[in-house]
């Protein structure tokens, strides 16, 4: 990989994985905050389902050692 290719790769705003150049999706909110998503799965979890990456096991941002409560435990 050359230096130019490394600069153009960004990380997914939800799961933290690298997004190769020419793939993924950029979402810009009305307050001009930019989100990068590498898959529809990440986009849907972040925007539609309003999940935080720290509480989703398959993301790189998942905090090991924290207690994740299920919906049954919250009720």
CATH assignment at residue 40: 2.30.170.20
| Paired sense of beta strands 10-11 and 34-37, if any | unpaired
Length of the chain, in residues: 75
1 pLDDT more than 60: no
Place of tokens 């999706």: 25
d(CA 23, CA 11): 12
d(CA 5, CA 64): 32
68 vs 53: which has the higher pLDDT: 53
- pLDDT tens-digit readout, 14-58: 999 999 999 999 999 999 999 999 999 999 999 999 999 988 898
Domain count, the chain: 1
Structure token digits, residue 59: 């993301």
User: Residue 36 burial (CB < 10 Å; 0-12/13-18/19+)?
Assistant: middle
- Domain of residue 45: give its range: 3-74
């Amino acid at each position: 990989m050359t230096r130019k290719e490394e600069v153009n790769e960004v990380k997914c705003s939800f799961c933290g994985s690298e997004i190769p150049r020419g793939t993924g999706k950029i979402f810009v909110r009305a307050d001009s905050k930019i989100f990068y998503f590498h898959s529809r799965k990440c986009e849907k979890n972040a925007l539609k389902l309003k999940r935080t990456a720290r509480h989703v096991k398959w993301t790189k941002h998942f905090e090991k050692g924290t207690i994740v409560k299920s919906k049954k435990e919250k009720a």
